[in-house]
Amino acid sequence: MDHKKHNMHKFSQNSSKDEHHHEELVEDEEIRDWKKKLIGSWMFALPVALIMIGDRLFEISVVPKKFMIPLILILGFPVIFIFGLNTLKSGLNGFRTLYFNMDSLIALGTIVAYLTGFFSYFGFGEDYSGVSSMIMVIFITGKFIEVKARGRASKEIMKLLELGARKARILREKREIEIPAEEVKVGDIIVIKPGEKIPTDGIVIRGDSSVDESMISGESLPVDKTRGSNVIGATINQDGILYVKATKIGKDTFLAHIINLVEEAQGEKIPIQKLADRITNVFVPSILILSVLSFVLWWYFLGDAGRSLGIAISTLVIACPCALGLAVPTALMVGSGMGSKHGVLIRKGEAIQTMREIKTIIFDKTGTITKGEPEVTDIYSKVKESYLLEVSASLEKLSEHPIAKAIVKKASLKKYPAVRNFKVLRGKGVEGNIRGKKVLIGNRTLMKEQKIDINEIEFVVKKFENSGKTVMIVSETGKVIGAMAVADSIKEDSADAIRQLNTDGYRTIMITGDNERTAEFIAKQVGIKEIIANVLPKDKVKKVEEIQEKGMVVFVGDGINDAPALKQANVGIAMGSGTDIAIESGDLVLVKNSLMGVVQAINLSKATFKKIKQNLFWAFAYNIIAIPVAVAGLLNPIIAEIAMALSSISVVTNANLLRRVKI
């Protein structure tokens, strides 16, 4: 995966733990910065609020009247012009560029309200300067909650960052030396003892053990590792010593990829958010015009500039679109965090919106529905089954063919009998001598060439073949002693996932380059009624385009040949065990490599989008109801500020309720 174009500045070529700590410090620093602003602004704004509310609502004078306005102005100055300085700059910049955002209203509302204190002090109009402090302090509170929400949504990333090993034990000139994990280089031989974390991604060159990969797969059972096995950084070695050759470091590791994928999703804008931004850009100048008109008209009819200004300020304050600005990002960030917790990584935020409109889900077969590697599924033996497996595995152990590996794996022998005169018969099978007996393992063609009669097991061979499986016939000294069926096995939960999707009304289709007989057998096992077989990689895109004519399509795949189809589909879902280019092409990535992730992704997108709609509804509904009340002169600026604050807080709280949803 080419992560340069993803701006992976957080992961340098040789970085690991130090960079991860740096990343954590950056996020903590942002939270601390807003926390300081929050505490500082409330220290000054709280006395203002007590003075203002006591005097205006309950007619209780906390301080003498002649000192009230100067005190409010003095206390309000640091809130607005120190703690809120960046907001003022951003808001006023909108008037220069004519591209308005919520900061524009907040900046104008606070400055105008603050200036009323000076006007009132010199006998012109009413004093609303206290409201300015409250506008800014509530905005700062909302920003702090947003940063905290983002931090909590990123909690799973932080946990992953903490999982990385701090130290690595490597071999240098036949000596073991311990170095910081970030100093490991590609090609270094790392020694990992029982109970230790694996420092970085690599391949086992010596030793065997089991490794706890639950942080990646979610599975509690450890995975056996032998020579040639791939291992992932931050997973934990269990019971044996492993010698691992480092193949990926820093930004190229699986852990770094996961972190980057989640971060990308949290920074995305989905279509509905872009719409909200466009509405805000029109909404802000409209409110400014409405406020000015309110002031002019009320002044014209009442002749009271102070009262008119109060109405105009109420309109500005009540319209501050804090809730609108928080509605989408908070829900999306919480949804993204939930997804990462369940192994569903959202690479592109727009997938959240698109997913809910999906009608059809197309599945690649190999590596998606199936495990992507052959397994011995059936055995027919005319001798003791353990003997059949022993001679077969002993012979096949000398072959590198995937079917040979499947037979060796099935036998799981601790000791193999010696094989003499081993020979690979290309396209047909293998032969060799075991204990003085000639053993052949292969297909019909090999048996026919060697003039070995298979009539007595023909019914078994046909049964296996009709199931779309590859059949290996075993003979010893010219006589058939058994047969084994080898096939790409279905993942344990593929059938459950597809059954659930069918029940929920989705159209499920399987697409594969395999022949129709094999495709039908797999499809029948998992409950897919539609298949597209004998498809070349370049034709997958055309098939997706054809199906898209009838509605939105999800494509689920894992291979390089799936990348174009993943891009073409409305939503591409890549399996986490797939190739880098497939993962790069997907909108979502299923880390656990399970099709139940598709079900979870759909449920997550529906739940997240529901929260986004709820947030936007309440943000807009609040403005639609409150603005006319403010324009009519029925809303005190203080009450307007409290209502605006509650609106923002309710949006953030509602977004965080998403965590309770079960996906």
User: pLDDT tens digit string along 23-56?
Assistant: 444 556 778 888 899 999 999 999 988 887 777 6
User: pLDDT tens digit string along 620-662?
Assistant: 777 778 788 888 888 766 676 666 667 777 777 777 777 777 7
User: pLDDT tens digit string along 482-526?
Assistant: 999 988 788 888 999 999 999 999 999 999 877 788 788 889 889
* pLDDT category of residue 437 using cuts at 50, 70 and 90: very high
Alpha-carbon Rg of the chain, whole angstroms? 34
Q: What pLDDT, on a 0 to 100 scale, did the predictor assign at position 57?
A: 67
Q: What pLDDT, on a 0 to 100 scale, did the predictor assign at position 538?
A: 67
CA–CA distance, 620 with 607 (Å, rounded to integer): 20
Q: Is 127 helix (H, G, I), strand (E, B) or coil?
A: coil
User: pLDDT tens digit string along 234-278?
Assistant: 888 877 789 999 999 888 887 776 666 545 544 444 565 566 667
CA–CA distance, 573 with 570 (Å, rounded to integer): 10
Kindly report the three-state secondary structure assignment for every residue of 225-292.
ECCCCEECCCCEECCCCEEEEECCCHHHCHHHHHHHHHHHHHHCCCHHHHHHHHHHHHHHHHHHHHHH
Query: 389 pLDDT exceeds 60?
Result: yes
0.95 surpassed by pTM = no
Distance of CA 325 to the CA centre of its chain: 22
Active site residues: 364
Q: What pLDDT, on a 0 to 100 scale, did the predictor assign at position 84?
A: 92
Q: What pLDDT, on a 0 to 100 scale, did the predictor assign at position 312?
A: 83
Q: What pLDDT, on a 0 to 100 scale, did the predictor assign at position 144?
A: 78
CA–CA distance, 571 with 552 (Å, rounded to integer): 8
Among all chains, which residue has been given the structure tokens 């080898």?
486
Token pair of 43 as six digits: 């220290």
In 154-198, where does DSSP find H-type helix? 155-163
Compute the average pLDDT of residues 105-110: 80
Q: What pLDDT, on a 0 to 100 scale, did the predictor assign at position 433?
A: 93
Residue 325 phi/psi, 5-degree rounding, is -70, -25
Query: 1 pLDDT exceeds 60?
Result: no
Q: What pLDDT, on a 0 to 100 scale, did the predictor assign at position 333?
A: 75
Compute the average pLDDT of residues 456-472: 86
Query: 422 pLDDT exceeds 80?
Result: yes
Neighbours of 402 (CB within 10 A): 11
Q: What pLDDT, on a 0 to 100 scale, did the predictor assign at position 265?
A: 42
Long-range contacts of 304-309 (CB under 8 A, 24+ apart): 305/124, 305/125, 306/119, 306/120, 306/124, 306/125, 306/126, 307/125, 307/126, 307/633, 309/116, 309/119, 309/125, 309/126, 309/128
Q: What pLDDT, on a 0 to 100 scale, did the predictor assign at position 555?
A: 92
Compute the average pLDDT of residues 137-163: 61
User: pLDDT tens digit string along 48-99?
Assistant: 888 877 776 677 777 787 788 899 999 999 999 999 999 899 888 888 887 7
Q: Average pLDDT over the chain, rounded to whole?
A: 79
